[in-house]
Structure 1
C-alpha cells in the first residue's frame, strides 16, 4: 500500500492506493499550529495496518505560507559590491502603470542586513576583483554574534564561475558554523540577477522551518508504525527524498497543486483543463500531450492575484498553473462600490466558514453552497462533520443579502456564480496565453469544492464536458502517487545556435546527468532517464521558450525544433534574425510508478438514489425537488439526468437542469450539457 498526503489551507487530504486502485480516502481539518499533527491523526484513523505501507508521498503549502506570512529565519544577504539593493530595486517595472499606490511585497532581507562584498567576476568568468576574504571573516563573526540564522550569497556571474561564492561558504563554515548558507550557484545557477537573488534568499529563509517540519513528520510516521521515510512532492511534478527537499525547500513551494495536475494527466485524455478547487484557493492547469505544462518563473505573495510582477519571483521549475484566491472558505463581502466580491482572504479551518460552527461569522462560498441546497448538512465529510445551515443563512443575510436588499437565496447564488465567473475568466486567460482554446478542452474537476462548481465554470467557458474523477475530493493526494523520483538541473551558457561549441554543450549535459544519476542513486533508483531541454529565443527578445533537444549536433535541427515550438505557442514565427540559447536543462527521472487511480471499494446491487432535497437553480425557477445519489452505489454505464446531486464523502457533483451525468468504466462521472 502507498499513501498520498496533501496539506491544504483548510483540509489535509489522504489517499491509500494498492495494486487494485484507490482503497481508502480521508479528509481532516488542517492543524495550523502543527501541520504534521493532522497527518498523524488522519493516518491513524485511516489505516488498520500501518506496517503494510510501503511509501508515503507528501505535499504541503508550508513553504508558501512561510513566505507569505514572513515566518522564516532571520536572514542576511551577501552580494557583489554595489549590488545589494537589486533585491529591492527588482526590475524597476510597474506592473500597473497608472496605480499611484502601487504595492510590492517587502524584501525578505531588510536593507541593514544586505552587505556589499568586495569582489567581482565578469560575464566570461574571469576575475576582475579578487574576493576580500578578511571582510568575509569579520562579517561572518558579526552576523553570528548578532543572532543572524541564515545567509544567502549571490554574486554577479556566479553561474559562470562559482569560485567566490564557494570560498565564502568555506569561510563562513569556519568562523560561523551555526549559520545556514545558500549559494546562488547551487540553488539556481542561471542568468538574471534579480530572480536568482530572490530565489536564493527565499530558499535559505525557509530552510530551517522546512527541515524541522520534515523531521517532525518523519518522527510522527514512525510513531504510528509506518516504516521508511516519506518522499516529498516537488513543484514540477517529481519526487524527492526528505534530505533533498530539506536542502532545496524552494522546490516544494507548489507541491500540493502539482498532485492534482498529475492525477488528471494520468486518468484523462492527452489534452484537457484541470480544475482544482479546495478550501482556500482554486487552481487551473493545462495538460498538453499527456503531461502538465511546466514553467520556470513563478511568483509567491502577489499583491494583486492576476498581475505578474506584483509578487516575489522564484526561478525554479513548477507546474504551470494559475491560482486564484477563491475556495470553499473564501469570504464574501460588499466592497466600497457596493458590489459583491469574493476572496481572496479565506476563513480557512480556524475558525472556518460560519456553517462549521467553530466561531466563524463571515459568509463564505461553502455557506452559499449549503444555503443553495448543494451540500447536505448531515453528510459533510461523510457525516463526520455536521454543518449549521442556520448559521450560514444568518451570515449571508447580515453581511450580503441585507445590505443589498435581496433574498438570502439570491445572495447565495450571487456568491456561487461570482466565483464561477472569476475562475472561468482566469482559465480563459491562462489557456489563451498558452495557445489553447478552453472551449475545445474537457475539464477535469476535483478538490472538495471543485465538483460543486465544475459545471458552472465549464458552461462559462463553453467546455464540452466536465469529468469528476474517482476520489475527486482528495485527488491531489492520489496524484502524488503517480509521480517518479525526479529533479531538474540547469546551466547558463549563452550563445548563438550557429556559434555553439558542441563539446561544451555535451560537457554541460554530461555534468548535469551525472549529478542527477548520483542524486537518484542515493534514493535507491538505478534506472534513470534524462530529458534534455534548451531555452532559446530570437536574438533581441527578452525571454525564451523551452525546446526539446532530441539528439544530434546539427544547428538546423535545433532551430527547426525551436521554430515548431514557437509556432505552436504563438501561431506564427518570428522575424528573420538569429536564434540563440540561454540555458541548458536536464530533467533526471526514475521509473514512473504503475498506479491505477480507480475506486475499488464501490458497492453494487443497491439503489444509488438516496432521496431528494430542494436545490436552487434559477434556470428552473428557483428551488426544485432534486434527486440525490450515492456515488459509491452508482455502477458503470448508469446515467443521471439533471437536476441532480451526486454525493461522496469528500465532495459533491452538482448536475444542473439540462445536463446529463454518466458513470464511466473507471468510476469517473462525466457531465455534459
Structure 2
C-alpha cells in the first residue's frame, strides 16, 4: 500500500508517495487545474502510476480555501451580530498598515454590509444576560436570510465567549427557517474574547463552508469512482491533518494548508541532519512561503492575518507568504522603476517560455534568459527561449535597460522581496538569522536560495534532493492534530485550581472525541496542555506549558517559571516580580501516524560534471559546471558557479559559494561573503 502526499499550489500540483511495504517512493508534478483543482490531484496520482485502490492514506494540502478568500470567490454569506456591532469586521482595530500613507485602502470586507444584520440582545463580559434575545426580530431576520438565498450564515454576538446561549438560540431559529443553510456561531468557532478577531474568524468559517464542502465532496466522489478506499486526510494550518468531515466543519483551519507540508518536511530534516533550527522557505509558481522550525517543531501564532486587519484567530503555523514565485510578473511602475509581482502568470497561461499563451516577462523567463534554466526543463518539456527573450525585451524597452540587465534586475528584486519576508518572520520572533540554516523547497526555491541567504547573512543553505516536491513529502510525515481552547481569565495568584481541572478535563474529552472521529484509537492519542498567559496589564499573550494530570496549588510555581521562560524567549525580557494572569486554556491533541522512512536521496556515485553552460551573474557571463542531482553521492563537493539539476527543481550555486552532499543526499551550500 502507498502513502501519498499531494500539494496543490498556484501553478503546480506536486505528489510524493512512499510504499509502506518496502519504502520505495514515487514523485509527480503536474500543472494545477485552476477551474477544478481536484482534477490536478487525480492527474498527479495517475502520472505517478499509483493504483487508486493501493493508496492507504492520501494526505492533501490545498490552497482552495486561501484562494477563495483572497479572490472573494464564494457564495454570498450573511452575518448576524448584536445591535451596534454591525460594522466591527469592517472597522477592525483602526490600525494603519502604512503610518504615513493617507491614500491606503482597507481590504474589501469578507461579508458586504448589506449582508450584515444586527439584532437586539446583550450579554455581559461575565456571561450575565443584560438584554434578552428579541425572538420575534430573530424570526423575522431568519426569514429574510431564507428569502435572500444565503447558503451560509455566521452569528457573532458580543461577549458570547462568556455565555453562548443567545447565539445558540439564534442558530436554532435560522435553521428552523432555512434548514439547508450552513450556520456557524462564534462561541464554537473561537470562544475567546476580542470581538474583532472572533467575528472575523466566524465570517471566514461561514464563507468557506459551502466552498470546501463542495470541493471535498467532489474530490471524495472522484476518488471513490477510481477505486480509492483508503483514508483521505487534509493538511491543517497548525501543522497537523484532519479528516474531510472535520475539514468541512472547520475550513478556517485550512488557510495555510498548502505551506504546512513544507514545514513538516523541514521538521523531518531536523531529525535527519545535524541542523536543529531551520528557516523553511518554499518558492512555487505564485508565492514565497517562510516559517521557522525550532528543535523539530514549527512555531505557532494566533495573530495571523489573511490580509491587513482580517485576522484568522486560530492556532496556526507562523508562515509568512509574499507574491514572489516563478510566475511572478515583471512590470514598470508610474515612476519608471522596475517591479516584480505580486501578480503571477500562474499555470494558465504561465510564463512566456511555457508556450501556453503567456506574453508577460516572469521570473522563470528571466532565469532562462540568464542561462540558469535548462531549456529542456529536465526533459519535462521544451521551454521557448525566443518567447522568453521577446517578453524580457518588451519590459526592457519600457524600463530603459538591456535584456540581460532587465532579467538580472528582476531576479535581484524578487530575491530582495524574499529576503524581506525572511526578515519579517525571523525578527518578529526575536531570532537571529545567523543561528539558523535556510532550507529551500519548491521547484523555483533552490534557484534563489543562496541569494536570499546572502542578503540575510544566513551561513548555510540546505537543498534536499526532493526539494521540488518537499511539501508533498512533508504531508506524508504529518500527524492528526486538533487545537481546542476555552477562555478563562484569572490571575495566577488567585486562580481556582478546581476550575482549571474542570476546564482541562472538558477540553481533553472534546479532543479525544475529535481524534476518534478521525479514526485514531486511544493508544495513539497524545494530549498536551498549554495556557495563553500574560503579565497583568499587557495586551498580548504567550503560550505556556502546563503540567498534565490533576493540578494542585503547588503547580502554580511550575507554571510561573514556564511562563517567564516563554516570555523571555519570545520578547527577550521577563520579570519574576510582575503578577501573571491566565487568559485562555488549550489542549493540543495529536493522533500518531506511521512515520516515513529515513531516505538517502543521494546516489552512490563519484561526483562528475557532465557538461557546462554559460550563466550570467552580476554583469558577467560565467562558465558554470552542470551536475545531475540524481547522480551525485554523499561526500561530493563542488564550487560555484555551478548548476545542479534535479528531477523537480534546479539549484543555482553562485560564484564564491561551495557545496557538499551529505549522507541523506541533501546539498549543503556554504554561503560566501
Q: Distance in 2 between matches of 1:244 and 1:171?
A: 24
Shift of 1:535: 0.7
Asked whether the 8 Å contact 1:490–1:585 carries over to 2, the reply is: yes
2:208 and 2:331 map into 1 onto residues whose CA distance is: 33
Instruction: Find the partner of 2:334 among 333, 336, 347.
Output: 336
State which drifts further: 441-450 or 98-107.
98-107
User: Following the alignment from structure 2 to structure 1, what is the Cα–Cα distance between the partners of residues 116 and 607?
Assistant: 68
CA 426–523 in structure 1, closer or farther in 2 if over 3 Å, else same: closer
Alignment of 1:370-389 (within 5 A): 370-378=368-376, 380=377, 382-389=378-385
Residues 231-251 of structure 1, C-alpha deviation per residue, up to 9 Å, x if partnerless? 000001111000000011111
Could you tell me whether the CA contact under 8 Å between 2:92 and 2:309 is conserved in 1? no
Q: Which residue of 1 aligns with 2:532?
A: 535
Note if contact 2:60-2:233 (Cα within 8 Å) is conserved in structure 1: yes
The CA distance in 1 between the partners of 2:314 and 2:82, in whole Å, is 23
Partner of 1:665: 663
Following superposition, the deviation at residue 653 of structure 1 comes to 0.7
Name the stretch that deviates more: 631-640 or 219-228: 219-228
Q: How does 1:269-308 map to 2 (within 5 A)?
A: 269-300=275-306, 302=307
Matched, 1:448 2:454: no
1:546-557 to structure 2, matched below 5 A, reads 546-551=543-548, 552-553=551-552, 554-557=555-558
Task: Find the residue that maps to 1:157 and give its secondary structure.
Answer: coil
Aligned position for 1:357: 355
Shift of 1:410: 1.7
Q: State the match for 1:32 in structure 2.
A: 34
Q: Distance in 1 between matches of 2:556 and 2:465?
A: 47
Counting only pairs closer than 5 Å after superposition, residues 430-579 of structure 1 correspond to structure 2 as 430-526=425-521, 527-551=524-548, 552-553=551-552, 554-574=555-575, 576-579=577-580
Q: Which of 139, 142, 150 is the matching residue for 2:141?
A: 139
Equivalent residue number for residue 395 of structure 1 = 391
d(CA) in 1 for partners of 2:49, 2:228: 10
CA drift at 1:21? 4.7
Cα offsets for 1:268-314 (capped at 9, x unmatched): 322111111111011111111210001112111x3xxxxxxx24211
Structure-to-structure mapping, 1:418-433, within 5 angstroms = 418-433=413-428
Show CA shifts across 1:612-643 (max 9, x none).
2111123xx61122211111111111112221
Cα distance between partner residues in 2 of 1:607 and 1:223: 47
- Three-state SS of the structure 2 residue aligned to 1:451 is helix
- CA separation of 1:560 and 1:48: change in aligned 2, threshold 3 A: closer
Kept in 2, the 8 Å contact 1:23–1:599? The answer is no
- Structure 1 Cα separation of the partners of residues 105 and 534 of structure 2: 31
Q: Is the 8 A contact 1:22 1:598 kept in 2?
A: no
Equivalent in the alignment of 2:611: 611
The TM-score normalised by the length of structure 1 is 0.95
The residue correspondences of 1:74-473 to structure 2 (distance < 5 A) are: 74-268=76-270, 269-300=275-306, 302=307, 310-378=308-376, 380=377, 382-399=378-395, 401-473=396-468
Alpha-carbon distance in structure 1 between the residues aligned to 2:670 and 2:148: 63
Cα contact 2:441–2:463 (8 A) shared by 1: yes
1:141, CA displacement in angstroms? 1.7
TM-score (norm. length: structure 2): 0.95
| CA distance in structure 2 between the partners assigned to 1:83 and 1:170 by the alignment | 21
Contact 1:603 1:633 in 2 (8 A): yes
Shift of residue 550 of structure 1?
A: 2.5
Structure 1 counterpart SS, 2:669: strand
Distance 1:48 1:175 in 2: 47
Structure 2: gaps (5+ residues): none
Pair 48,321 (structure 1): closer, same or farther in 2 beyond 3 Å: closer
- Asked if the contact 2:430–2:570 (Cα under 8 Å) also holds between the matched residues in 1, the reply is yes
What's the offset of the Cα at 1:96?
2.2
Quote the offset at 1:149 in angstroms.
1.7
Q: Is the 8 A contact 2:5 2:58 kept in 1?
A: yes
After the TM superposition, which of the residue ranges 442-451 and 605-614 deviates more from structure 2? 605-614
Measure the CA separation in 2 of the matches of 1:93 and 1:450: 34
Q: How far 1:405 sits from its partner (Å)?
A: 3.2
1-structure distance, mates of 2:573, 2:17:
46
Partner of 1:306: none
Q: Distance in 2 between matches of 1:376 and 1:120?
A: 65
Query: 3-state DSSP class of the match of 1:54?
Result: strand
Partner of 1:5: 6
Supply the distance in 2 between the matched residues of 1:295 and 1:528 (Cα, whole angstroms).
Answer: 23
Distance 1:547 1:108, change over 3 A: same
Answer whether contact 1:357 1:388 (CA < 8 A) is retained: yes
Cα distance in 2 for partners of 1:604, 1:665 equals 10
Q: 2:642 aligns with which of 637, 644, 667?
A: 644
Check whether the contact 2:261–2:471 (CA below 8 A) recurs between aligned residues: yes
Asked if structure 2 preserves the Cα contact closer than 8 Å seen for 1:375 and 1:652, the reply is yes
Look up the SS of the partner of 2:348 in the other structure. coil
**1:559 offset after TM fit, Å?**
1.6
CA distance 1:54–1:539, shift in 2 (3 Å): same
Shift of 1:647: 0.5
* Maintained 8 Å contact 1:5/1:12: yes
Q: Runs of 5+ in structure 1 lacking a partner?
A: 303-309
Alignment length (residue pairs): 659
Alpha-carbon displacement from aligned partner over 1:410-445 (angstroms, at most 9, x marks no partner): 211111111112211221232122121112211111
1:323 Cα deviation from its structure 2 partner: 1.1
Question: Structure 2 vs 1, CA of residues 212 and 126 (structure 1 numbering), >3 Å: closer, same or farther?
Answer: same
Contact 1:478–1:597 under 8 Å retained in 2: no
Query: How far apart in 1 are the matches of 2:291 and 2:175?
Result: 42
Contact 2:483–2:587 (8 Å) recurs in 1: yes
- Equivalent-residue separation in structure 2 for 1:575 and 1:200 (angstroms): 37
| 8 Å Cα contact 2:155/2:183 also seen in 1 | yes
- Aligned partners of 1:54 and 1:227 also within 8 Å: yes
Q: 2:584 matched to which residue of 1?
A: 583
Contact 1:448 1:651 in 2 (8 A): yes
Q: Are 2:533 and 2:580, in contact at CA under 8 Å, matched by a contact in 1?
A: yes
Q: Deviations over 1:28-77 (max 9, x none)?
A: 11111111011111111112433221110001111111111111121111
The 1-side partners of 2:503 and 2:497 are apart by 10
Q: How far does the alpha carbon of each residue in 1:310-350 deviate from its partner, in whole angstroms, 9 at most, with x for none?
A: 24211112110211111111111122222221111111111
**CA offsets per residue over residues 347-388 of structure 1, 9 Å max, x none?**
11111111111111111111111111111011x2x3222211
